[in-house]
Amino acid sequence: MQSGALPAIIALGGLGLLFAAGLAWASKKFAVQEDPRLPRIMNVLAGANCGACGYPGCRAFAEAVIKGQAPISGCTPGGTESTSRIALIMGLEANGEEYVPRVATIRCRGGRQEARQLFTYQGLADCAAAQLAGGGAKACRYGCLGLGTCVRVCPFDALSMGENGLPEVDEERCTACGLCVSACPRNIIELIPRSAQVYLACVSQDKGKAVKSVCTVGCIGCGLCAKPKVTPSGAITMKENLPQVDYTKGGTDLLVAAAKCPPGSYVDKVPHRPKVTIDSKCDGCGICKEVCPVGAIDGEKGQRHKVIMDKCIGCGLCVSKCPLAAISIVGALGYVEES
């Protein structure tokens, strides 16, 4: 075996050298010039390969940005931060397009208690499958099937199935990538601006009677919320028996619309709103009583008025109308937990 050692070393070493030389030559010959901005842009993207930008993966989006084909604000999960940092890398001003942070909302409130079930569904635990198999167990043709397909597609763990059989959105985690929107076979999930506090949680286009027979909280299409008296901003318009809400227009009046809605199809994301109080400056002129959309102010003409706390929705319409500035909102508007 002594004679075998040297040839073995030479042969293997030679092969190794040969391959190394070949690889070195190939790496020179076939070197790919990559844009140095590409890895930098990919670093500032969300990196979830979610496809919300419309490109197959973050890499494809970054390449499109460099070529100038994609808008720098295209990465929704990355949000404003990604946009401004891409702008920095690309040497652009980030003011080109207005970026509105959005959040996924479930437009159905008909849980196990509210919505009628036709039968017990025991098929594949998947909404698309249930939709094919006779449209699922829920009597409402528009409502959430509650089998959690959206929960499973969410790459950010922002969705979870609530006790009532409806998915819940964790707004902290939601990046508005839109995967759940396209996964929902009933198109219930919508991306609305994060600033919107009130949204319509129903997509049923059925007539009032049909809706009432299947769900206690479904929109009956009465059109009350779209009346100029309720929403003077014109944010709500009726279309095919369903109110369409323009969240960019609506303000306080959406709160009023939510309070006026007979079946309560609107959801107010703020769990506890501050209410107004009337102090001793009040001379009982009665203006606030007329202004109040929900009839929460009571009092005789000429005497100090009182707020009916159960009725007040904290819209604040009366505050600016009071000639004596006697009305004030107690506490701050926002996500205040009841203490």
DSSP states of 274-331 as a string?
Answer: --EEE-TT-----HHHHH-TT--EE--TTS--EE-TTT-----HHHHH-TT--EEE-S
> Quick one: 16 or 295, whose CB is closer to another protein?
16
Question: Amino acid identity of 244?
Answer: Q
Q: Of 8 and 309, which has the nearer Cβ to another protein? A: 8
Q: How far apart are CA 155 and CA 49, in angstroms?
A: 9
Q: How far is the CB of 16 from another protein (least distance, A)?
A: 6
Closest CA to 136 of 152, 115, 154: 115
Angle at 215 between CA 210 and CA 216, to 5 degrees: 115
Q: Indicate the residue among 76 and 149 with the shorter CB distance to another protein.
A: 149
Smallest separation (angstroms) from another protein to the CB of 15:
6
Residue nearer to another protein on the CB measure, 146 or 250: 146
How near is the Cβ of 274 to another protein at its closest, in Å? 47
Return the number of the residue (22 or 96) whose C-beta is nearest another protein.
22
- Asked if 120 and 96 touch (Cβ cutoff 8 Å), the reply is no
Interacting residues with another protein (CB under 8 A): 4, 7-8, 11-12, 15-16, 19-20, 22-23, 26-27, 30-32, 59, 124-126, 129
Task: Say how many C-beta atoms besides its own lie within 10 A of residue 57's C-beta.
Answer: 16
Total Cβ atoms within 10 A of residue 38? 15
Q: Least separation, in Å, of the C-beta of 157 and another protein?
A: 18
> Residue 339 carries which side chain, given as an amino acid letter?
S
Closest contact distance (angstroms) between CB of 70 and another protein is 17
